[in-house]
Each structure stands twice: as structure tokens, then as C-alpha cells.
Structure 1
Amino acid sequence: MLPPRLQAQVRHLLSGVVRAAASPNEPLPGATVAVPALGIGTTTADDGSYSLRLPPGRHQVVASFIGYATQTRDVNLTRDQRLAFQLAEAGNELGEVVIEGSGSLEQKLQTTQMSVERLTAREARLLPALFGEVDILKTLQLKPGVQNGGEGTSGLFVRGGSADQNLVLLDDALVYNPSHLFGLFSVFNSDAVQSVDLYKGGFPAQYGGRLSSVVDVKMRPGNPEKFTTSGGLGLISSRLTLEGPIRKGKGAFLVSGRRTYFDIFTRQINRLNQDDPDYNPIPDYYFYDFNAKANYKLGSKDELFLTGYLGNDVFGFNSQGGFNFDFNWGNTVAALRWNHVFTPRLFLNTTASLTKYKYQIGNKLDQFGFNLSSDIRDLTLRSDLDYTPNERHALRFGVTATHHRFGTGRLQAGSQDGSVNFGSNITYYGTEAALYASDTYKPTEKLQLEYGLRLSGFQSGPDAYGGLEPRAAARYSLTPNVSLKGSYALMYQYVHLVTNTGASLPTDIWYPSRQSVRPQRSQQVAGGVSWLLGDGRYLLTNEVYYKWAQRQIDFKDGAQLFVNPELDSEFLFGKGWAYGNELYLEKKQGRTTGWVGYTLSWTKRQFPAQRGTNGINNGRPFYPTYDRRHNLTVVVLHQLNQRINLTGSFVFTSGAATTLPLGRFAFQDVVGAEPSAVPIYPERNTYRLAPYNRLDLGLVYKLKPIRTGGESDLTFSVYNAYNRRNPYFVYFDQVKDEATDQVLNYRARQVSLFPVIPSVTYNFKF
């Protein structure tokens, strides 16, 4: 037997995997594995694996994960050993509200990462939803530091960044447009999603290419033990998911589909009124998406994962006067990942992916028509190596390369008889690559560091750009219940979204860094403190941040965005900065759970005179439309009994910044002609719309078990429960004298989008 002094120096490796009990092939990334008596713990990697260096002897090892019951295992460690965990769901799949175990809050307290939010699809399903359609991205808008773009939108504006500055990943594959229905819903079907991680700052070195946030979505791998069917029937859409084993113990699959049926009703209404010459047809609209995932074990150390997504929005209008208009857009994503385990401390993930986003408008009037489109297509190869040499270090290395094809303007036009025909095609190519390394280092029990460096570059034709992107984060435990945190990150963005917000329909063109269009860059510093309160039942965090960005992009007045080979000349370049304070209180134990978040923030942009223009706002700083001074969210989930769950969410934000005319002057260009009123505008966005506030309520009623052994529920939602008429936009009406028909003045009118909207959804699983 070794002497006590030498025995204390001996450490054995405890390693294993944390998976879901219901789906043993479903790893739980981000789960906590800890030995509380020693104050040692770690989180699982993307494949659910973990490793700890522990002294010999008997230990209690605790594994926990959001939405799953905490599991404690006893181990007598006399040598290197493997220990696997299979966590059971904390309640039933459809009606769960109570999230047991304090591991998730302790994990947030002890991890180095700050400015990170994790959301499971199980949590999102419980919250009230617009038209009953569960939306992962809209749920993220309820977190501090995340602003929505306006009534009903699912676009994210994170810590002063614009919507195109978010890196959205689906199983490591890029998604360019994460929205359906002009931004009202996200493309992520909650039935196919396992979890979502939102990074608002302190970005790990493996992420790059965007300035403001990372939204990392992981799909469920499917049930490897038995075939199951689940889905839902709602007011505007239905969904269906099938999953089961490919070969028991070897692999599983999941396929999930969703479709709206606006068009079924509108087509019938149009058909009934087709003989009325004064009838204006209702536009045709629907969207659909399809998700698929499969995994298969090639052996004890190798596993393949295949992910696919296809989604499309279709909008059409056919008038009785011969005017036809078609508009559609959508994403295609495919990813193949190979996971290889060299040792319990060293494993490799290699992913090849294809991403495509396409936007197309077609128009036909009598005998003449045109088709206008843009698209972007990416082919990406990335490889990530994780190595845990001991309990103090966790190393990660990786390389990624992407080949971009930008179709910035494709035009086909002509007459139906072929007498007039012309077209245009503007295509650019680019290559983006990055190399990174990072280390999570724990020098003492109280101090933990995470630091890394990313080298990125981009080339389009003869133009090339690149730079170093340092990342750093630190956590210091003042006491077992109080931690101080800080982070810094520098980010580059090499592709840019060209959007004309003044158009009647959105125009999405992705454009590369080339010629005079240099990559955007941002830096962010953040600091905060976290308190674990009430015997671990509550977590209170307070974070402050400051972000400054260079080479921000906007456009000249009257810029020609489509089919323009000199699009570089339409850009204006400026700078931006944002700063704020985020206060967050969260509870995840007991029959009543939820959170309260409050953000106080400022966002500004400045574009000086350039390219023969006065810049924007005559070169003076201005607030963008998504600047919000105050943002308050309250989310409550309460389990009334075993069959009834009550939910509610309240949102209050300051009004959006907007530009309205100060007044008007009469202008007469021809003597004797009727004078016209010309509006006089002040500086950009000097006015604020009325504050936005909304209360949503929900009830989940679990029905009696299905005879076949399945389960089902009815989900009732009331969106905008007290019928608040929140402003969508403001326009001005003429006020005329009834006798003379002379314009006396102008009156502001507010347009609101959604009144109170009740909905009901039937969910099932068998």
C-alpha cells in the first residue's frame, strides 16, 4: 500500500457519457458532472462525454441537466474507470413544468462562460405562443440583452447588433435566414430540437464570422429503442414527427415535418368571390419545413450523424386583371458529422456541410414578366479536436474552411411570345477559413480561466482580408455561492446582408467583403457577478457590457440594390457602439419556476460624410430603430397539479426609435397649380413610438393516457391577453374641411398588428 503522502498525489481518470434514459443514443451536451465533496466538476462535450481526475477512494458523483432528474452514483475509484449516466426526464414529455435539481443553476455559477443562455425545446413548448405555434427564437427574446425587431417578429437584436450579425447554427451547419412568414416565426420546429445555446458575449474561439451573438441549435437524434410518433394540430399549422431505431443498439433516425394552411382557406374564399369584378383576391401564403437526422455507430469508437433541413415560404397573388406576383424564399441545409474517440480524454468531430439560401420574386403583367432572385451557397468542412489532459486543463483545437457562392442579382425578363427577352447574372465567389485553439484552465479551486485565439481570413477574387481574434473569460469564486466573471472578445464578419428596409417586401442579398467593402469588426468587454440564493433555488446575475464596432454598413439614399454590378459604390461605412446593464433572476426548482430579466441599454450608430454624400443624419450619431432603453420580461411557469400547468409571460420595452416629420411646407412648382405639402424631417430617429407591453397566458392540460400507451395534451394560449394595441408603424392622415375639401392639418395614425389572439393546440405522442 502506498504511503498517505504518495496516495494523496495519485489521481485516477473517471470518464464516461451522459445520455437521456428515454433515448440512450441521445447525448446531453452541457450536462454537469461533479463530486460536490471535493468541489470538482465539469460539463459534458457535444457528444455527452466527460472526464474527471479524482483521488482514489469512494466518491459520490452527481450528474444533472436542465429538464432531467439529477442522478447520484457511488464509485470506488481504485484505477481509471468509466461511468455512464442515463438521466430520466423530470416528468412527462408534454406537460413538464417543474425542472428538478439545482445542477443547472450551480453550473451557471461555476462555469467560466458568461452571457450564455441555454433553452430546451421542452421549456419553449410550455410558454404561450402566437397562434399556438411554439417558437424557439421568440422564447430567446424573453432573455435579457435580446431585443425583438417589433411586433410579431422573431428577429434577434443582441446587445446593439443588427439581425444579420447573429451566427445561427443547426448541428454546426450555418442557417442564413432563420425566419418564416416575414419574420413572425422561426424555421426551427420545436419537435425536432433538443436544445439551443445563445452566446451574447465572451464567445468561445470555435465560433466566428458574426459580430453580435451565436445561436447554436442541436437537433434530437431520435429514439433508438422503439418507434414513436408525435405531433400537434393547431389553428394555423400542423406538425408530425416519426422516430425509431435503424438497428437496435446501433443507430436511430428522426424525421419531422410542419406546414401551415393559410392557403387552404384563402383559396376557398377567393374561389367563392371569383365572379365579383370588384373583389380583391387575398394573397396566397404558406410555409413548410422538413427536418431529418440519423446516427449510426460504426464501432465502439466511431459514430456518424447525418442532419438535413429543407424549408420554404411561398407567397402568391393572382389578380383578376392579369397581374400575377410570386415570391418565395427558403433554406436548404445538410451536414454529415463523424465522431471518433481516440481515448476517453481525446476525441475528434469532423463535419462536412452544405448550406443554401434562395430568394426569388416573379412578376407577370399581361404578356410581360420578369424573375428576380438572389442566393448564397456554402460548402464547409470543419474539424474540432477536444483533449482533456487532466482536471485542470480542457484543450480544444480546430480548423474550418468555407467556399461561398454569392448570387447577388439574377434577372430574367421578357414577353410571353419571345419577341423581347433579356437577362443578367451577377455572381461572386469567396473563401473563408479559420484556425483556432483554446484552453479552459483551472489553476485553483476558486479561479477558472478560458482563453483562446482565432485566426480568420477571407478572399474574394484579388481581394483578401484577415485578422486575429483573441478571446478571454475568467471566473473567480468569492464564496461557494458568489462568483465574479469577466470576458473579452474580438470578432470579424466577412459577409454582409444587403437589406432595403424601405421596400414593400424584404430584399435579402448576401454580399462578400471585396474591393472597398472591408469586413465588419467588433470588440466587446463584459463583467458580472452571480449569486446563488435560497439554498440553491435562485440564481441572481448582474452583467454590464460595452461593445464598439467598426466598418458598419448602410446605404445611400435611393441605393440600387438589385442587379447592380457596382454595388460596392452604394455602401456607406460608419461605426457603432452599445452598452448596458442586464439584471436576471432565475428559479428552476419547485412547482413554480421562471425568471425575471431587466435590461438598461443604449445603442448608437454614426456614418460621416463620404462618397459625395453628407453621410447619414449629416454625420451625427443616431439611435437605430432597434435601440430600446428599458426592457423588462417576466416568465412564470406553475404546476397546479399532475395534469394542469399554468404559464404566463409579460414584456415591457421602450418604444422603437423612429423618424417623423416636424411639419410641412407648401410647394408650388407651376404657377396656378395646386400646391403640394412637403414634409420637413428632423434628425434621424429623434422620436419614439409608444412603449410596447404585452401579457401572454397559457394552460397545458394533460389528457388521459392513450390506450396504446401514448400521451396527449391540449395547450391553450392567449396572446396579448389585455388586447394592448402596440404600435407597428405610424402614418399621417390629411384632415380636410368638409365644406371646401381644403387640407387643414395632418393627424398621426398608429397601425397595430395583433389584437388579443386565443388559440388551442392538440399535442400527442405514442
Structure 2
Amino acid sequence: MVAQSTVKVSGYVKDASTGEDLIGATVQIAGTTQGVITNAYGFYSIDLPLDSIKLVFSYVGYTSVIRSLQLSQSLVLNINLPPQQKQLDEIVVKANGLREKLNSTQMGVEKLTAQELKTIPVIFGELDIIKALQLKPGVSSGGEASSGLFVRGGGPDQNLVLLDEAQIYNAAHLFGFFSIFNPDVVKAVDLYKGDFPAQFGGRLSSVLDVKMRDGNKRKFSAAGGIGLISSRLTLEGPIQKDKSSFLIAGRRTYFDVFTRAINRANEDNEDFNPIPDYYFYDLNAKVNYELGKKDRLFLSGYLGRDVFGFKDDNFDFSFKWGNTAAALRWNHVFNSGLFSNTTLSYTTYEYEIANTFDIFNFSLGANIQDYSAKVDFDYLPNNQHVIRFGAHYTYHDFTLGRLRAGSSDGSVDFGSETRLNGNEAAIFITDDYTINDHWRINMGLRLSGFENQGETYGGFEPRFSVRYKLNPTVSLKASAARMYQYVHLVSNSGASLPTDIWYPSTKLVNPQRSDQVALGGSILLFDGKLLISNEMYYKDMDNQLDLKDGAQIFANPNLEDEFVFGRGWSYGNEVYIEKKEGRTTGWIGYTLSWTYRKFGASNGNLPINGGAPFFPRYDRRHDISVVISHKFNERLTFTVAWVYYTGNAISLPPGRFFLQDVVGGNPTVVPRFQQRNDLRMPNYHRLDLGLVWKFFPRWGESDLTFSIYNAYNRLNPYFIFFEEIKDANTNQTLGFQAKQVSLFPVIPSITYNFKF
């Protein structure tokens, strides 16, 4: 019998002040490069020799802890890391440092820290995760102040958005100006732009994985902020000290408070046009409990709503939309080498438009509901292999259109509703294998399938990436991945708006499929303080869905009649320079890319753009972002953010013709279009400035955050329209003049934040 030569040391790494799990903390054998990192729940497992050894536990923003061990058997070792500062501004969420980025096989990953988020200048003082991610290479917005994500040429429906593992279908407030994520409750943000791990699926372009904080297990605390358009409050604390905790957070805008006051003050003025009401709110809640040394439970939830309304004596219009999500998770440690997470989740997105005019009323709505179950395992046989496997299932319930109309006296009353459903399932396995100091590979395979009304689709989704280290500071990487997407966004706008409709794969609508390959390299400079990386990618997308020219998604009861099908492709190069240590931190990103779509005649409809390839609206040739933050002292931090990108592709009529349908009648002016999106908006650029001024009162912490959005008052285009020019005497049309509409001038803002 061969004597055992190694043992396992496993456990959790936590924040000493709050009890929060630390994701991506490093556990390393002192004096070597051998080590592991904690998983998404702060759990680690490492093989060590039967000997006297020192383990170093470290995490950016925390004081490292060294444990001297005389090992004779496997043991459980939980570690609490103390924050480096006496007063913790926020949990520093950095899942991987720059060195781990160099060592990892994963390509196209962006990780956002709460510290970065707080210092980035923002519009109206409203902190926003997605706007910060738009400053990363390969990620673009739909336009001015939009919270949409367009990743490496993908559309807005091709992003999987998760909040504590529950899927979110519309991650925007205020018609896309702000995201639904309250930064006070965010623990970790990971954006995968390409070869995302095999445990993720159902989308082609990216995965945005947002994890909420668990809540302080050691003491009660409160935090919040008061801004120009919204206020927020977070409460957290132990239910049973060191074993369980709660967190509850709320946020609300107060546009409606001012607009209603203005409307009341002018209600007797016949020439005054009432201002519409608008507000949004969201609530986050979470509780967690340690059932024992091997079991933990987490229950988290989200509720968010946007409400828009307009009312006068004869007209009453309302528009409501929002998300609801909940997730129950159970962590279980079978042994030091096997960890599992089981999740049950529910999510729904819905909207409703209601209109009452005189005695008649009308309402239109749609929604999608998901019921999901999944189980994931982390198997850690030794320090060379990290094996993950599991199974996922989702039941989709689609309400494509809900129409109700009638009269107040009940003499007219009718309605209709169109519903579909679908079953989506997947199994996966992946192995992150460290062969030696130079070679590391990640091999994954996902088998996914979808069923709807007897129609079944499915396919294998291989994922592969490899890293080769030339030396301790230089690595080369390559990756390839295939993804399937079984649900689709039907949109008239090209951007994710509240009235867009999610539609399942059917007998006619095939699943979307993408294949992406990437090559890249990274180098660490200045003792690991600066990382320079370059990635090139090519992505091919099949079975792309679009609407035919002149489509009416609300007027046609058979929505599939409006569809056309085609393909898309994109390619580009991303350069990224990042610095995370020292008084001056930040990044510079540059993306050079091309994105194409092509739709021939299909589904009985004419081709788009004559069947020739065209640029979608969000195609960008050049995209530059510069974010530099300098910490003058413990109180003052100054940030500069500058962005530049090529203008959106648009369709504008180069000319018009007169249509005389009745002799002697007024002619109709009809615009004449040539190719789709053959013109460009003017190039976009903007400078934002931010200053965080911290205070240290006896009762806790506070700061004033100053921001200047669009500091040099650049009049960037929001859209272009044509104004008709008429003869003052004859009222005849002489021509048309293009005019640009700009949305935001220079906007200063201030937010007061506090914590006690």
C-alpha cells in the first residue's frame, strides 16, 4: 500500500470585520508560485505535503495572514482577513488581481470593483455598474447615457444578466438611462465577453454575473446616499452573530414629487401643458444562514418598477414595467475536495400600457416568467485540476401580447392573449488543468436543448482556452467557443426598450448560434503593478432574427410573419492597459472593430438592404476610453474619464419625391432611402470629472461625491431629424434641412453618502 504523501487543507476566507465571503482570495504556499483562489462562495481547497509549511492568505485591500502548519492529516482552516484600513470604505471587490489575470486561461473577462465604481464620474450623481462596464474595451452602449450592453458586435438580447444567479431580462430603469443594480448591495461584478465558462449558456455574446453582498454578520450597520434624482438606504446586520445575517436596500427617484407640485401650481392656467409623472424604485433583500460547518442557505430577492403616467380631464395614460427575481441557494461541502451549490430561482419581466380616453379604455402588455433549477459541483482532486460539472433546467412562460379594450359602462368589452412556453435544459463539465508552470488549459463541454410545442432543438457547445507563460511576466492565450441561444428579443428600435418582446424558438424560429475564436497576450510591468493586454477576436453568428422593413409587432396577431432571418459576423482588436495599485490607478482601453449583418429573402419577406451586408446601428470602428483616478490623501480622490467613439450607423433619406395621388390635391412627400445604415452620426466624445471628499465622523463614515458630466459641453448627437422648409407666402415645400438633437449639456451633480 502506497503511503499518503499529501493532505487537503480547505475552508472559507472571509472579511474579518463583516463576515463576508471573499471571492477570488489567494491561498499560496509561501515562497512558491503554487496556490489556489477561492470560489464564488469564498471556499478553497489545496493539496499540501505532509510537512511543516506556511500558507499565505491574501486579498487586495486586506492585510495578508500567514499560517504555519505542521501537517499530519487533512484539516479545515477558515481564515478572517482584516481590512488594511481601520475604516473600510467598502468591500474591495476584486475577484482577480493583475497577476491572476495573467495566469488565468480565461480571456475577455472584465471585473469591476466597488472602489472603481464609486470614483467614476456619473450623470445626475447616480452610480451605475453598466455605465462603468461600457468604459471597458469590447463593450459599447446604445448611445448617449444608455445602460445597454453591446458586446463584441452582439445585440442587446445576446447578454445573459444574472443577479445572485437569477436571470434579469431588462436591466434598465428610466427608458435605458440607468441600470437596475443598486451599487450599495453589489459584492462582485464579472463580465465575460466571449469564451465564457461552460456553466453559463443561453446567450451568444456575454455573461454579466452580479453577486449581492450577504450582509454584516458581526454588527448592525446602515448606509445610503442622497442625490439629485434619487435617494437610497441600506440596512444590514446579524440575525445570529457570526452565523446568519440580513441585508435590505431600497432606492427611489423623486421626479414625480417636483412634477406634481408644478402641475398643481398651474392647474388653473389654461395655457399650461401638464408634465408627465415618472419615477422608479427598486428593493433588494437577502438573508443567509450557516446550518453547520458544511451547509449554508442564501435567500435573495429583487423587485423593481418604473412608472410613467400622464393625466388630464379627458386623457389618462400609464406605462408600467419592471423585474421581479428571487433565488434560494444551498451550499454543501461533501468533503475537502467536493463543493456543491443548488439553486432554485424565479424571475419575471412584464410591462403594461394603459390608456383611457373619455369613456373608452385600452391596455396592452407582455411578460416572460422563468422557473429555474440548477445544481453545480466544484471537484478539486488536486492542485492541478479544478473540475466543475452540473445540470440546469428552466421553464419559460411567454405572454407575447395581452390586449384589453372596452368602455366604462361595460357595453363594449373584449380582449385577447397570446401565450407560448418552452423547456430549456443543459448539462456541462469543465476542467481547468494546470499542466506545469508554463501550460494551463481549460476544456469544457455543454450540451443544451430546448423544447417548445413538440419542436426540439439542441447541440453541443465546446469551450476551450489555453495559456502559455513565456516567463513570470508574459503570457499568451487562445480560445474557441460555441454558444446557442433559444430565446430572442423582438425589437423595433435595435435597443432594449420596455416594450420589446421576448420570443422563444419555434418550428419557424431556429436557435441562434455563434462561434468565436480569440488570440491574445498579456505582460506585467513594474513589479506587477501595470498590465498590458491585447486580444483579437472573430465571431460568426447564425440564425439571426430581425424585423422586416415596415414591421408592426403590435398590429399583427401572427408575429412570426414579421420576421426575417440571416447571419452576422464581427471581428476586432482590443488593447487594454490597467493599473490597480498606488495613488494613481485606472485604465486605458481601445477597440478597433467591424460588425455586419446580412438578411436575404426569408419567411416570405423581402431581403433587408437588398440582401447585401450592412452595419447594425451599434457598429463602431473606433472606441477609446481613458479612466484615471488619483488619491491625494485619505480624504480626496479625483477622477478623470474621457471617451471617444465612432458615431452610430444610421439610415437617412438622401432625397424625397412628391406623390400626387389626387388631381388638384396636396402632394405627399415620400422619403427615399438607399442602403440601410449607410451613413454615420458625428463622432462622439465627452470628458467627465469626479471628486470624492471623505469625512470621518465619530458615528461612521460619509463623503460628498461631486461629478461634472460632459465637462467641456460637447453637443453630441442623440438623433437627427429633417425639418421641412416652406415658402412663407405659398406654403409650398421648398426642401428639407437636417437637424441634430443633443441630449445632455454639461451637468454638474453632487451626492451625499453615509455609513454608520
Pairing 1:553-568 to 2, within 5 Å after superposition: 553-562=545-554, 564-568=556-560
* Mapped pair 1:684 → 2:679: no
* Mapped pair 1:268 → 2:261: yes
* Mapped pair 1:609 → 2:611: no
* Mapped pair 1:16 → 2:29: no
SS in 1 for 2:647: coil
Amino acid at match of 2:36: T
Amino acid at match of 2:329: R
**Cα deviations across residues 638-692 of structure 1 (Å, max 9, x unaligned)?**
1111111111211100000001111122222222223333222110011110111
Equivalent residue number for residue 47 of structure 1: 41
Size of the aligned set, in residue pairs, is 756
* Mapped pair 1:416 → 2:408: yes
Deviation at 1:82, TM superposition (A): 3.6
Q: What is the alpha-carbon distance in structure 2 between the residues aligned to residue 270 and residue 753 of structure 1?
A: 24
- Computed over aligned residues only, the root mean square deviation of the Cα atoms, in angstroms, reads 2.1
Q: What is the alpha-carbon distance in structure 2 between the residues aligned to residue 693 and residue 502 of structure 1?
A: 22
Residues 100 and 590, structure 1, Cα contact 8 Å, conserved in 2: no
SS in 1 for 2:549: coil
Q: What is the alpha-carbon distance in structure 2 between the residues aligned to residue 425 and residue 222 of structure 1?
A: 42
Q: What is the alpha-carbon distance in structure 2 between the residues aligned to residue 302 and residue 96 of structure 1?
A: 27
Equivalent residue number for residue 701 of structure 1: 693
Residues 435 and 454, structure 1, Cα contact 8 Å, conserved in 2: yes
Identity between Structure 1 and Structure 2 (%): 58
Q: What is the alpha-carbon distance in structure 1 between the residues aligned to residue 87 and residue 283 of structure 2?
A: 22
Equivalent residue number for residue 132 of structure 1: 125
Tell me: CA distance 1:386–1:94, structure 2 relative to 1, closer, same or farther (3 Å): closer
Residues 195 and 219, structure 1, Cα contact 8 Å, conserved in 2: yes
Equivalent residue number for residue 139 of structure 2: 146
* Mapped pair 1:727 → 2:727: no
Equivalent residue number for residue 213 of structure 1: 206
Amino acid at match of 2:736: Y
Deviation at 1:608, TM superposition (A): 0.4
Equivalent residue number for residue 478 of structure 1: 470
Q: What is the alpha-carbon distance in structure 2 between the residues aligned to residue 391 and residue 637 of structure 1?
A: 37
Residues 30 and 45, structure 1, Cα contact 8 Å, conserved in 2: yes
Deviation at 1:743, TM superposition (A): 3.0
| TM-score normalized with structure 2 length | 0.97
Corresponding residue to 1:339 among 316, 327, 331? 331
Q: In terms of mean alpha carbon deviation, does 58-67 or 186-195 score higher?
A: 58-67
Q: In terms of mean alpha carbon deviation, does 511-520 or 672-681 score higher?
A: 672-681
Deviation at 1:35, TM superposition (A): 2.8
Equivalent residue number for residue 3 of structure 1: none
Amino acid at match of 2:599: F
Deviation at 1:118, TM superposition (A): 1.0
Pairing 1:306-321 to 2, within 5 Å after superposition: 306-320=299-313
SS in 2 for 1:682: coil
Tell me: CA distance 1:174–1:32, structure 2 relative to 1, closer, same or farther (3 Å): same
Tell me: CA distance 1:111–1:71, structure 2 relative to 1, closer, same or farther (3 Å): farther
Deviation at 1:411, TM superposition (A): 0.8
Q: What is the alpha-carbon distance in structure 2 between the residues aligned to residue 651 and residue 251 of structure 1?
A: 43
* Mapped pair 1:83 → 2:77: yes
Deviation at 1:47, TM superposition (A): 1.3
SS in 2 for 1:568: helix
Unmatched runs of 5 consecutive residues or more in structure 2: none
Q: What is the alpha-carbon distance in structure 2 between the residues aligned to residue 734 and residue 55 of structure 1?
A: 81
Residues 164 and 496, structure 1, Cα contact 8 Å, conserved in 2: yes
Residues 128 and 696, structure 1, Cα contact 8 Å, conserved in 2: yes
Residues 304 and 338, structure 1, Cα contact 8 Å, conserved in 2: yes
Tell me: CA distance 1:532–1:367, structure 2 relative to 1, closer, same or farther (3 Å): same
**Cα deviations across residues 376-432 of structure 1 (Å, max 9, x unaligned)?**
111101001111011111111101111111011111100111101100011111111
Equivalent residue number for residue 296 of structure 2: 303
Residues 24 and 95, structure 2, Cα contact 8 Å, conserved in 1: no
Amino acid at match of 2:182: N
Equivalent residue number for residue 623 of structure 1: 615
Tell me: CA distance 1:241–1:435, structure 2 relative to 1, closer, same or farther (3 Å): same
Tell me: CA distance 1:51–1:171, structure 2 relative to 1, closer, same or farther (3 Å): same
**Cα deviations across residues 114-158 of structure 1 (Å, max 9, x unaligned)?**
111111223211211110000011110010000100001000000
Q: What is the alpha-carbon distance in structure 1 between the residues aligned to residue 285 and residue 742 of structure 2?
A: 38
Residues 121 and 136, structure 1, Cα contact 8 Å, conserved in 2: no
Q: What is the alpha-carbon distance in structure 2 between the residues aligned to residue 45 and residue 724 of structure 1?
A: 44
Q: What is the alpha-carbon distance in structure 1 between the residues aligned to residue 550 and residue 95 of structure 2?
A: 56
Residues 24 and 38, structure 2, Cα contact 8 Å, conserved in 1: yes
Pairing 1:185-264 to 2, within 5 Å after superposition: 185-264=178-257
Deviation at 1:634, TM superposition (A): 0.5
Equivalent residue number for residue 419 of structure 2: 427
Residues 386 and 395, structure 1, Cα contact 8 Å, conserved in 2: yes
Unmatched runs of 5 consecutive residues or more in structure 1: 1-5
Deviation at 1:69, TM superposition (A): 4.4
Q: What is the alpha-carbon distance in structure 2 between the residues aligned to residue 452 and residue 230 of structure 1?
A: 41
Amino acid at match of 2:12: V
Q: What is the alpha-carbon distance in structure 2 between the residues aligned to residue 220 and residue 505 of structure 1?
A: 29
SS in 1 for 2:560: helix
Deviation at 1:93, TM superposition (A): 6.6
Q: In terms of mean alpha carbon deviation, does 12-21 or 323-332 score higher?
A: 12-21
**Cα deviations across residues 234-254 of structure 1 (Å, max 9, x unaligned)?**
110000000000101210000
Corresponding residue to 2:442 among 426, 431, 450? 450
Amino acid at match of 1:313: D
Equivalent residue number for residue 524 of structure 2: 532
Tell me: CA distance 1:663–1:750, structure 2 relative to 1, closer, same or farther (3 Å): same
Q: What is the alpha-carbon distance in structure 2 between the residues aligned to residue 100 and residue 745 of structure 1?
A: 57
Tell me: CA distance 1:71–1:542, structure 2 relative to 1, closer, same or farther (3 Å): farther
Pairing 1:377-526 to 2, within 5 Å after superposition: 377-501=369-493, 506-526=498-518
**Cα deviations across residues 62-84 of structure 1 (Å, max 9, x unaligned)?**
33334444444444445434433
Residues 500 and 506, structure 1, Cα contact 8 Å, conserved in 2: no
SS in 1 for 2:696: coil
Q: What is the alpha-carbon distance in structure 2 between the residues aligned to residue 100 and residue 610 of structure 1?
A: 48
Equivalent residue number for residue 761 of structure 1: 751
Q: In terms of mean alpha carbon deviation, does 28-37 or 105-114 score higher?
A: 28-37
**Cα deviations across residues 446-469 of structure 1 (Å, max 9, x unaligned)?**
111111111111111111111111
Amino acid at match of 2:312: S
Deviation at 1:91, TM superposition (A): 4.1
